[in-house]
Each structure stands twice: as C-alpha cells, then as structure tokens.
Structure 1
C-alpha cells in the first residue's frame, strides 16, 4: 500500500471518527438539542460511509471491495436526504413521518440495488480492480440506477443549500456564522462529488468522504463554540414570523432592522429594502407623513389606523425598550396587535348607543347630550336657539290597518324626506316612537317655524308608496325658542315645544304652532 493511499485512508477514517464523535456528543445532550434524533442518524450514516470506504480502500480483493461497498451504501445514500431533513428542522419546518419515509425511499432502493448488483448490474455495469497498480483502485461503469441515485443525492444537497442561502438576508449577523457552517456542510460535499464525476479528482478515488473531514470539523467547532444546534436562530425566527402580533425591531438610532411576517401582512407596502432607514423615513415613504405618535417606553398603547386594499384596519401599538446586558438601550420593539374586530364592535356599540337602529339618525339620548352642549354655546355667545318637535299624524291607524312593517317604512320615509331639506348643522333625532326632534342653532323662532312649515309641506306632498297604494303622510309641529338672557335649559325648551306640538294636534293636526310667552300660538298652515 503506497503512502498516497495511506493518506487517503487516514483522512477518510478521521472523517468517520469526527462523525462518530458528533453522534455521541448529540446523543448525550439530546435533551438540550432540538432535532437531535435526525442529527444522530445523519452522523451515523456519515460514519458508516466513511469507515466502510476506508476498509474498501484497504481491501486487496474484489470480493472484499464489494462487501465494503454494500456496507458503505448502508450510510452514503441516506446522508443527503437526512441532511435535508436536518436543514428543514433548522428552518423550523416540521417533516412528518410520511414525509421522512418518502425521502428515504430512493436511498433504500439504492442500497438494495448495490447489494444485489451481481444479479442485474443496474447500479454498476462493470466493477473490477485496476490491474498493474500498487493500490486497489476500481474501474467501474455506471448503470441506470446509479444515475437516478446521483440525481437524487444532488437534488437533496442542492435543495438544502438553496434553502439556507435563501435565509441569509433574513438572518441576523450574530447568527450568520452558524448559517455559513451549515451551508458549507451542504455545498462542499456537493461540489466535491461533482468534481469526482467529471474526472477532476484522482482516478478511482471518491474524495467526498475525505472532504467530510473538513465539514465534520466545522460542525464540531460550531457546536462547541457557537452552540450551533443548541441555539437555532432560524427556528427562533420562524417562531418570530409565526406570531399573530406584528413586531417591528428598531435599533438605538430608530432605524428599522427587522420585522416579522405579521407586519408584512398588516402593512403590505413595507419592504425589506427599507431596512436600515429610520422609522420616520419609512413612514414618510409609506404615508407621506412621519410616524403618527410619540412612542412611550412604558408600554402604553396607541391606536393606529391603516388602510390596505380599500379596507381600514386598526392596530394597537405598544412600545418596549431593548437593553444590553449592561443596561444600555440597544433599541426598541413595536408590537402591533390587530384590534380591528374589537374596534368595529366598539364602533357598532357606540353607533347603537348614539343612533336609532331603524332610521340611523341620532336617538333621544344623544340628542339630549349634544343639544345641551349646543344650547350652552348659543346662550354663551348670545345667539338664538330654536327647538322643533313633530310627530306623524294618525300613525297608530297605519300600524293597525297595514301592519307594523309598513309603520316602520313610514317612519323611514319621513326621515329620508326631512333630511333632504335639513343642513348639516341642524341636530336631527328620533325622540321616540313616531316623534322627532330638531335643534336649530343660531336660528330664531321665525326661522324655525319657516323650516317646520317646509317640512310639513314636503311630507304632505310625498305620500308613502306601497304595494297596496299610497299612504298619505302629514305631521304636526311645535316650535320653541330659548329666551336670551334667561337661564334656559334644554328640558324646559323641549317642554315648550311639546306644548306647541299638542296645540297643533288640538287645532286639527298637519300644522305648525309656535310657543310664545303667552303660550302656544298657531304659526302658519
């Protein structure tokens, strides 16, 4: 056996020892290491591959070479798919039992093909020792299944490397050394195997088990120095990305350094290219304005409205400080919690509290609250303030004769008819049943009566159209003005308007009455 072959066997044996050490190390610390079982099986497969190949190189007969080749293939074809499963686990993607079994189908067939090759020659068409050489190098001709095995192995190695490379930009700098080590563990064997197949390595020698001495050494260094398997950053990032809450990470200079997928869904226009810019710069590019509120380090919440794809959403934004171990501020976190449904429920409840469910105008409670504020402001400024009450004439007959559904339609019809004549500064509300109220700030009694008359005439001119015909609509109105210089209240003013309303009813309905100092008087017909 020449010195060169001895060097090859030594390197291959060292690879086997390294992988055996990795397997034992992870086995004894399996409770601390995620995905330990996959890594143990992976390194055992590499150990079998390396040791068996070392014995193959040391063999002096074809029978021994074939025996160690069969043993070698108990590990070698399984290494690539097991490595892919290890990378998938590192990335945080769970491989099911069925998925794992599917990945191992081709390697299992490969081993069977090698073990029974003398009967079919589908893996090696020819396998013989080269003559007149001091070392037992092989002269082989590959068969059909060898090509299938090669394509599958390369695919697994390439897929694992591509998946790792795709996460390079998303991985924090402090964790990139781990990622680089794993990338090397996939790329080095793949490139070496390619060079072997194209004839760029010593003839008859498979260099892959030798270079695994390098990759296994890298793994040992990474595991012992940077806790490669104990701390799996990409799996942590997957957790970070799978959070339902959006998280934005800022450094001490308020620059955007990271965000998770939830934020990407919440704010689709946010792009990785914006990383490194300040929060205000990013927000200005997104919205044309700086970040909308001053963040509080105590975690107090602010509400952010964001419109995306024509839909408005609401997020509760909480800020917290990130600190180094020495207590210095390292940056901050912004957590965005989707409160859209809660906000809509709140708005719906507020709407129900403030608005009449049938007509969608203010209800009595909201009219009283706002009316008092408007009256107080008018009295303070010395402006006139008028209130109008009106109700639908003979409304009970409509309910009795046509049903409550038609009665509801009549109420809606009256509201829509009146709203066509009312301006935005007039406070219009349903006071109860078929009765309505209108507050007219800065309007004297005469103007209030004029508006009431226009409403009365409009209602009379527009009957309710139903499937059974027309239903005449009339209403009786009462108008009262707050007395300037007196401590008038809204309750008092409403009682005066109510007296004027009943004066209209007593006088034949479908008319407007004013409340004067001497009592209700007809205004006009």
Structure 2
C-alpha cells in the first residue's frame, strides 16, 4: 500500500475517531444538551460514512469497493437531513414529525438503490476499479438517482448554512463563535461535496471525510472553549411564541405590527389581516368597541372583560410598556395580556361567600347591615323616610319535623323566590338568619312598607311549596317600622320592626303589623 494511500486512510480514520468522540460526548451530555439525540444520530451517521470510506480506499477489488460503498451510504445518505435538523433545533425552530419523516424519504431510497444497484443501475450506470499507484482509482458513470441524491444532499446542507447565516445578526457576540463554528461545519463539507461532484479531486478521492476531520476538530474545540451545544442561545421569536401571556406589538402610531400565539388564542379573530390597523380599529373589529384605555401610557394596567359569542366571560389584565430603540427614543409599545379569569372567578366566589347566603344567594346578615346603613344615611341626607320589613316563616320547625330538613331548605328557597318577584329594584332583600328575612325600602314611608309587606304575605299564602308531590302551605308573619325623615340608627329600627313582628305572631301569624315611628310614639 503506497505511502500516500496510507496517509489518506490515517487521516480519514482520525476524522472518524473525532466524530465518534462527538457522538459519545453528546450521549454523556444528553441531559443538558438540547437536541442531543439528533446530534448523536448525526455524528453516528458521519462516523459510519467516514470509516466506510477508509475501508473502501483499502479495498482490493470491485466487489469490496461496492460492498463498502453500500455501507457508506447508510451513514452518508441521512447525514445531510440530520445536519439540517440539528441546525433547526439550534436556532429554536420546531421540527414537526411529518417534516422530519419527509426529509428521510430520499436518503432511505438512496440506501436501497445503492445496495441493489447491480439489478437496475439507476444509481451508478457503471463502476470500474483500477488498483493503480500511488492510489487505487474507482471510475463511475452516474445514474439519474445519483443526481437526485446529490441535489438533495447539496440542498439540505445549503439550507443549513443559510439558516445559520440569517441568525448571525440576531445572535449576541458571546454566541457568535459557536455559531461561526456551525456555519463552517456546514459549509466546508458542502463545498467539498461540490468539488468532488464536478471531478476536481485527483484520483477521484472523496474529500468530505478529510474535511470532516477539520470540522470535527473545530466542534471539539468549540465545545471545550465555549460549551457549544450545551449552552445554546434561544431565538427571540421562540420565546415570543412560547410565552403563556399574550403579547401585541404596536408601533409609535399604535398600529398593530405583531402578536404571538397566546394573543391569538386569547382574542379569537385576531389574525394577519389586522396587521397595520390601529389598536382602536383592531379592537373594534374584535369586540365592537374601542380599546378600553384612553392612552397607552408606560406602565398602564387595565382589566378588561372578553366574552366569546355564546360563551363565558374571560378577564384579561392588560399591561403596556414602551419599547425603546438603541438611542433611547420610543419606537413602539408592547401590550401584554395576562389571563386573570380564574383569579377573578375565585375573587367573585370569595365575595359571594363573604356577602351572600349560601342557600338562597341573597345578601347575608353582615352584608345587609353594611348596605342598609348606607341606604338609611342617604335617606336621612335627602330628608326622605325609609322603612324596614322583618318577617319569618310561620311554624318553620313544624315543616322541618314533618317533612325533613331538606324540605325545610326548599321552603326557605321558595320564600326567597316568591318575595324577590314582589320587590322593586330599589329594595334591599336579605336572609337575616334561619327562617327570618329582612327588607330595606329606601324612600318608602310606613304606609308603603305596609303595602309591600301585605303584597308579599298574600303572594306567599297563594303559592304553596310543592315538594315530593305535596302542596305545603308556607306563610309568614311581618313587622314593619319607619325611620322617618329625621333618621334613626339601623339597630333601633330593626328592634322596632322585630317588636311589630312579635305582635303579628301573637295575633295569630300570617299577618302584618306596623310599629309607628319613634317621633309619633313620643308625641
């Protein structure tokens, strides 16, 4: 074996060792290396290709050459597709399974075509082997599928180079060394393959394995010096698209120039056709109204309710921040949409529990006292009367004992429903406790309160509770009291209404009794 051939085989073998080292490194660092699996497959395929070339160069017959060529394509055919996927993963582009599968169609066919070339000669029309000195020479006449495979290989590698070059401007200086290494690592084998295909290499020697020796050494250096592939820059658009919060980008004229996937999901209807519209115009298309904030001040926080047609409301907190250019001037603004629907619903539930009765959903005693004081204070300020009606269900214990506590609960809800239908919007209606209820009637004198109480009493008497196929009579006794224009503390008014209620019960229940204003009693 000539010294030149020995040197070439040694260099190729060294290249294979470097490539195996990269494959093992990726395996050992797989927990911290994004895309480690793809990189392992990529370097593994290259190693198969490189060692097969070395064995092919050492072959002594055409049969051996063709055998090692078939093995060579097992690694060489998928390597460009794997390299392209490595690049896509490095720059943060998602690789759908269908796309990944499509990239391996031609490589898979190429492997089969080379292995079966003796039957169809579609890959190589003819192959001749000359032992020669100083190096053996293999002459081939390429077939149509060889050309297709070459186009695919060159196109995949060129696509990887272009994608990396486009990333250069958006990559921070700290990452540019590893990016440059990847660019060279993609470009040099592509250039070598091109030179080989046009027949510029003496003796028909494939220069790519030798070039991979250089690129593998560069990868090893970059890994050791810059921790390439374990510390990988994340593309800004990947961050933008993967954010859970919606982001809308506006220019200085408040025109829509970009938005992320989360914003599209939050605001159904938001789409590319709205690019260029002002925020008010876009919001009007989406919701039928202008943007809810008057101006997009830096640090603006605004909560808006968003309802999809026929669906439940969603609540979004909108935060605005100014985007500044390199010289510090404002060049646009960002609107961040944060989904606070669950938080808002939880707050509503807590408020419901704090201020409303769980059985009837009416105001509870605490909430009633707080709001009734406000109503009485407003009536006093306006010199208007205000009345309180206190009532409870007659013989409620008998209903519980006879029909059970569940029916007792039905009775309480039944009374609440009947009474609500008899009251106007100004009335303040609450469950005061147990089977007792209270109504505050602002701006209503005692006579009007008496009419309201009598109307409620008659409605209850006329509408029995229907439960388990039974019609159960449910009546109530009422006591009403008026604060008068001069005003009166709520507790005193409730006490007088309770005294009137007691009189109604003592008189036989299912009736209304009034307690005259304190001023009238003193007179």
TM-score by length of structure 2 reads 0.69
Q: Which residue of 1 aligns with 2:355?
A: 354
Structure 2 distance, partners of 1:111, 1:446, is 100
Structure 2 distance, partners of 1:390, 1:476, is 5
Structure 2 distance, partners of 1:72, 1:465, is 87
Q: Which residue of 2 aligns with 1:274?
A: 274
Q: Which residue of 1 aligns with 2:380?
A: 379
1:466 aligns with 2:462: no
Q: Which residue of 2 aligns with 1:89?
A: 89
Structure 1 pair 368–292 and aligned structure 2 pair: CA distance change class (3 A):
same
Structure 1 pair 69–462 and aligned structure 2 pair: CA distance change class (3 A):
closer
Structure 1 pair 52–116 and aligned structure 2 pair: CA distance change class (3 A):
same
Q: Which residue of 2 aligns with 1:5?
A: none
| 1:232-282 deviation line (CA, Å, top 9, x unaligned) | 887442333222222223344433333221111111211123234433332
Give 1:407 shift: 0.8
1:23/1:40 contact within 8 Å kept: no
1:127 aligns with 2:126: yes
1:388/1:448 contact within 8 Å kept: yes
| 1:387-407 deviation line (CA, Å, top 9, x unaligned) | 111111111111111111111
1:320/1:333 contact within 8 Å kept: yes
Structure 1 distance, partners of 2:19, 2:128, is 34
Structure 2 distance, partners of 1:502, 1:386, is 17
1:513/1:520 contact within 8 Å kept: no
Unpaired runs of 5+ residues, structure 1, are: 1-15
1:478/1:501 contact within 8 Å kept: yes
Q: For 2:140, which of 134, 138, 141 is the aligned residue?
A: 138
Structure 2 distance, partners of 1:505, 1:240, is 70
Q: Which residue of 1 aligns with 2:404?
A: 403
2:256/2:276 contact within 8 Å kept: yes
Give 1:140 shift: 4.8
| 1:465-500 deviation line (CA, Å, top 9, x unaligned) | 22263222221111111121x241222211111111
Structure 1 distance, partners of 2:50, 2:365, is 87
Q: Which residue of 1 aligns with 2:288?
A: 288
Within a 5 Å distance, the mapping from 1:411-430 to structure 2 comes to 411-430=412-431
SS at the partner of 2:381? helix
Within a 5 Å distance, the mapping from 1:113-512 to structure 2 comes to 114=114, 124=123, 126-128=125-127, 138-140=140-142, 154=152, 235-293=235-293, 294-298=295-299, 301-309=301-309, 310-467=311-468, 469-484=470-485, 486-512=486-512
Structure 1 pair 81–463 and aligned structure 2 pair: CA distance change class (3 A):
same
1:84/1:157 contact within 8 Å kept: no
SS at the partner of 1:389? strand
Structure 2 distance, partners of 1:476, 1:243, is 61
Q: Which residue of 1 aligns with 2:73?
A: 73
Structure 2 distance, partners of 1:334, 1:172, is 28
SS at the partner of 1:495? helix
Structure 1 distance, partners of 2:444, 2:490, is 15
Give 1:125 shift: 7.0
Task: Give the superposed CA RMSD.
Answer: 6.0
Q: Which residue of 1 aligns with 2:174?
A: none
Unpaired runs of 5+ residues, structure 2, are: 1-11, 130-136, 172-178, 223-227
1:80/1:153 contact within 8 Å kept: no
TM-score by length of structure 1 reads 0.69
Structure 1 pair 290–108 and aligned structure 2 pair: CA distance change class (3 A):
closer
SS at the partner of 1:446? helix
SS at the partner of 2:412? helix
Structure 1 pair 173–413 and aligned structure 2 pair: CA distance change class (3 A):
farther
2:484/2:517 contact within 8 Å kept: no
Give the stretch that moved more between structures: 268-277 or 388-397: 268-277
Within a 5 Å distance, the mapping from 1:92-103 to structure 2 comes to 92-93=93-94
SS at the partner of 2:431? strand
State the aligned residue count. 480
Structure 1 pair 443–517 and aligned structure 2 pair: CA distance change class (3 A):
closer
1:246/1:261 contact within 8 Å kept: yes
2:388/2:493 contact within 8 Å kept: yes
2:124/2:142 contact within 8 Å kept: yes
Structure 2 distance, partners of 1:136, 1:471, is 106
Structure 2 distance, partners of 1:515, 1:152, is 103
Structure 1 distance, partners of 2:451, 2:95, is 76
Give the stretch that moved more between structures: 271-280 or 488-497: 271-280
| 1:291-314 deviation line (CA, Å, top 9, x unaligned) | 21244534x643221112522111
SS at the partner of 2:337? strand
Structure 1 pair 363–505 and aligned structure 2 pair: CA distance change class (3 A):
same
Give 1:78 shift: 2.3
| 1:344-402 deviation line (CA, Å, top 9, x unaligned) | 11101111222211112221122112211111111211222111111111111111111
SS at the partner of 1:303? strand
